[in-house]
A and B are shown apart, each in its own frame.
Chain A
Amino acid sequence: MAHYELTLPVDDDHVRRLRVNDTVTLQRTLYGIRDATLIHIFDRGRTSRFDLRGHAVIHTAPNVRRVEKSAAHPAGYAPLCVGTTTSARMERFTRPLMAQYGVRLIVGKGGMGQDTLEAFRDLGGAYLAIVGGAAALETTWIEAIEDVDLDDLNPESLWKFRIRDFGPLLVAMDSHGGSVYRQVQDDAAARRERALADLGVRR
């Protein structure tokens, strides 16, 4: 179990080095993305002007306040509370996001499925688990909203965050077929039988 400081964007070597149960702290840039952002990009033919190659995206739709543009708030938004949503809803978008936009790291909560795991293996990627619901803490890792694209989808726009010491995050899925979530699920099958027996449930 190693710890890595990754400054984004990252190259393939760094991503392939990550293994389940390693920890990672991200630096510099993180893109926020969500249901509507992905639906508009992949189902409705919208495109983003952002270059996401080698970057990390986080599944989020933040609470923001509109403010005057300034050095501290280059996009005209101040982050109020930025937290992470359930990744499972975004499952069918991971492979295209990686193949077409070059995204390499997904930050989310709750884990993702087999399609995502295979996309990580084929294209070189990893899932970094954050503690869902710990948004007040997460917000302290975000310095500013640097830019925003697909602004009309607010709060589900494509957000460009400037981050510092974002983490530590747990590598929960890697490019070598490792998934903490699958381990937990496999382990739970045996535990399910025991729990039902303890509860006196007939087979």
Chain B
Amino acid sequence: MDVDLEAVEAAAKELYIRALKILPDDIKRGFAELVGRETRATAKTVLGTMIRNIEVAEATDNLLCQDTGLPIYTVTIGRNVLVDGVDLAAAIRRGCERATREHPLRSSVVHPLTRENAHTSTGPRIPDIRFEYSDRPEELTIGMIPKGSGSENNSWLRMAIPAEGVDAIKRFVIDCVLEAGGRTCPPTIVGVGVGGTADLCVHLAKLAATRALGTHCADPEGATLERELTKAVNTLGVGPQGLGGDATAFAVHVELAATHITMNPVAVNMQCHSARRATATFTPQGVTYGF
């Protein structure tokens, strides 16, 4: 399958805008569930305002949140997909710039030392583009996550040691949720990376945070940890916006990797309640959009 780079550029632009405007259905269902369970009046009001915001964003074709985030694209490539990776990355970068200029979107991207804003949502190594490989030979999928600063600024890594065991992981997750309070715009999806190297562990936490609600860790031990932590986090009383309540997280998601015999790394990364993500899948039949 040949991939048309102009179509990739158009999709990269469209994905950025769609991710900022359209809330995935699993999150809408998550809201309904949390409202049903919430026992505190202020928290119910806050959740109601969030749901009203989703309705207004749809009715006015506006962004859910003003934070256009750091643009992150994931590219998953099947065996029979013919494409030059350098050209593909350049096309994605152009699409990201075009969304920013043509929509227009606020550029939230600055040089890390000079703090200069090129007003393109791009800069050195940004957009962050991650390549992975698919077992579906005739498919190319581009995912887009505009990661807002409220949730990304609250990211943590702890290189625990084997003697601390799973307890270290549990305690760390609880303490990160408490430390984040309302800053991450709860209810959140709490992404937890377990194992791997330091950088892989943090990456896994982000993958976990941006996984659809209702999906589970492929590893049965990881899935059990998800269930336990989801329940525990929602007893802490942080609540929506950190103003108190039951609805602190939609879920805790865990992704894990094998690690070194001397290591026990754990990372936390959160997804805010606007849970922005979008995908475009290219097949020989054309492009389809999803979450």
- Knowing A85-B67, A110-B242, A137-B49, say if A184 contacts B56 (CB, 8 Å): no
The answer to whether A62 and B56 touch across the interface, beta carbons within 8 angstroms, is: no
Number of interface residues of B (CB under 8 A): 56
Q: How far is the CA of A9 from the CA of B233 in the complex (A)?
A: 41
- Chain A: residues with Cβ within 8 Å of the partner, total of 52
Docked-complex contact B150 and A134, CB < 8 angstroms: no
A199 B273 Cβ-Cβ under 8 A: no
Q: How many whole Å from B115's CB to the nearest CB in chain A?
A: 7
Q: Please provide the chain A residues from 156 to 195 with a CB less than 8 Å away from any CB of chain B in the complex.
A: 170, 172, 180-181, 183-185, 187-188, 191-192, 194-195
User: Of A111, A134, A181, A202, which is within 8 A of B49 by CB?
Assistant: A134
Counted as pairs of residues, one from A and one from B, with CB atoms less than 8 Å apart, the total is: 168
Q: Contact at B243–A196, with CB atoms within 8 Å?
A: no
Is B181's CB within 8 Å of the partner chain A? yes
Contacting pair A188 B106 (CB below 8 A):
no
Residues on the B chain within 8 Å of A60, using CB:
66
CA distance A180 to B235 in the complex (A): 18
Query: Could you tell me which A residues sit within 8 Å of B by CB distance?
Result: 21, 36, 60-65, 80-86, 88-89, 109-111, 129, 131-140, 154-155, 170, 172, 180-181, 183-185, 187-188, 191-192, 194-196, 198-202
Known: A133-B50, A133-B185. 4 other contacts (CB 8 A): A109-B182, A154-B117, A184-B243, A188-B236
Binding site for A on B (CB under 8 A): 42, 46, 49-50, 52-54, 56-57, 60, 62-68, 104-108, 115, 117, 149-150, 153, 167, 170-171, 174-175, 178, 181-185, 228-229, 231-233, 235-244, 272-274
Closest 10 CB pairs of A and B: A83-B66, A136-B57, A134-B53, A110-B183, A110-B182, A63-B106, A81-B63, A137-B53, A136-B62, A135-B66
